[in-house]
Amino acid sequence: MESGKEFQELNGNLYPDIEPYSTGFLKVSDVHTIYWEQSGNPNGYPFVFLHGGPGGGTSPSNRRFFDPQFYRIILFDQRGAGKSTPHACLEENTTWDLIDDIEKLREHLEIPEWQVFGGSWGSTLALAYSESHPDKVTGLVLRGIFLLRKKEIDWFYEGGAAAIYPDAWEPFRDLIPENERESFVTAYHKRLNSDDLETQYAAARAWTKWEMMTAYLLPNEENIKKGDDDNFSLAFARIENHYFVNKGFFPSDSFLLDNVDKIRHINTTIVQGRYDVCCPMMSAWDLHKAFPEADFNVVSNAGHSANEPGISAELVAANEKLKNLAKKNEP
């Protein structure tokens, strides 16, 4: 186990806080408008950040994984999340809608091709987007791999992870009456889509707290408090649950792995915490076996969060590697 001092030194690998140089809203459908921002170098190499959840939204700290002197850093909030409107909306909200939004944003910003960064659900979306538009992606950085397969959903939401976090699991379990516990995802879906707003909020708080309490190897109180924020929790829980009930809107359970051949030419790094409870390492391992060309980095003293020092250090290193490759390929 690394000492606290070593943890601190690793987290020092993040770049300093920066502010965006441009922000905006892009109307992507009759229903949805997405928030976007750019920071770093306006003439730099474009890198788009895909946040987790779905429904998690972006935060200012997401900019810190990228060298602001070299990269044009693009963040956006997916449909219904963060500053995008309407808030927590499930209508016209599918993986394929989000893939179209990424393309609309790329065209809106007049970017011919870009590197893609995604963790957790962001890794799911990054894979789905890259497999749909392999000619638009020059590099991939994937963290906390989530392939949205039934066994992954069952592990985290139907009792598997309770073996490690029984104390965090029981409040999540106890919101649901015993006669509905054959599927917690279905039972929460009913409550998150209730006509009663307080029923929605109560379910959203319980759903979000379960995930936030298990996201770090060492508990992070600030992260756990997100579960008390009804505005954040409602979007996070409703949109996540909507995607999980609908199996990611994928045609098959193994869809992302089945289509890996389309992206095997793309420079890719996979970063995975050994003790990730939310997205267990079996998924990263399966992706590694299907995509052996990708760099595969397991962080031995980390859980799920990108903000854990060992993981953030590996993510910065992966972005530096892509930076150096891009510099070599400059005309």
**Together in a domain, 124 and 50:** yes
Q: Which residues contact 133 (CB under 8 A, 6 or more apart)?
A: 99, 103
**Together in a domain, 300 and 171:** no
Q: Are 130 and 137 in contact (CB under 8 A)?
A: yes
**Together in a domain, 196 and 313:** no
Residue ending a domain, among 212, 246, 280, is 246
The whole-number pLDDT of residue 1 equals: 28
Structure confidence by residue, pLDDT tens digits, 162-195: 999 999 999 999 999 999 999 999 999 999 999 9
**Together in a domain, 82 and 45:** yes
**Together in a domain, 31 and 80:** yes
Confidence tier at 12 by pLDDT (50, 70, 90):
low
Q: Following DSSP, what letter does each residue of 10-33 receive, concatenated?
A: HHTTSPPP---SEEEEEE-SSS-E
**Together in a domain, 123 and 217:** no
Q: Are 245 and 189 in contact (CB under 8 A)?
A: yes
How far is it, in rounded angstroms, from Cα 275 to Cα 272? 9
Structure confidence by residue, pLDDT tens digits, 116-137: 999 999 999 999 999 999 999 9
Residue ending a domain, among 229, 246, 263, is 246
Would the pTM of this model clear 0.85, i.e. be above it? yes
Domain coverage including residue 322: 4-150+249-328
Q: What is the mean pLDDT of residues 141-162?
A: 98
**Together in a domain, 131 and 23:** yes
Structure confidence by residue, pLDDT tens digits, 234-281: 999 999 999 999 999 999 999 999 999 999 999 999 999 999 999 999
Buried b vs exposed e over 40-55: b needs ≥16 C-beta within 10 Å? bbeebbbbbbbbbbbb
Q: Which residues does the annotation mark as catalytic? A: 120, 276, 304
**Together in a domain, 145 and 254:** yes
In the chain, helix, strand, coil percent, each to 5? Answer: 50, 15, 35
Number of domains making up the chain: 2
**Together in a domain, 226 and 174:** yes
**Together in a domain, 26 and 104:** yes
How far is it, in rounded angstroms, from Cα 16 to Cα 140? 22
Residue ending a domain, among 246, 263, 278, is 246
**Together in a domain, 165 and 138:** no
The whole-number pLDDT of residue 5 equals: 35
**Together in a domain, 173 and 130:** no
CATH number for the domain spanning 138: value is: 3.40.50.1820
Structure confidence by residue, pLDDT tens digits, 44-80: 999 999 999 999 999 999 999 999 999 999 999 999 9
Q: Which residues contact 178 (CB under 8 A, 6 or more apart)?
A: none
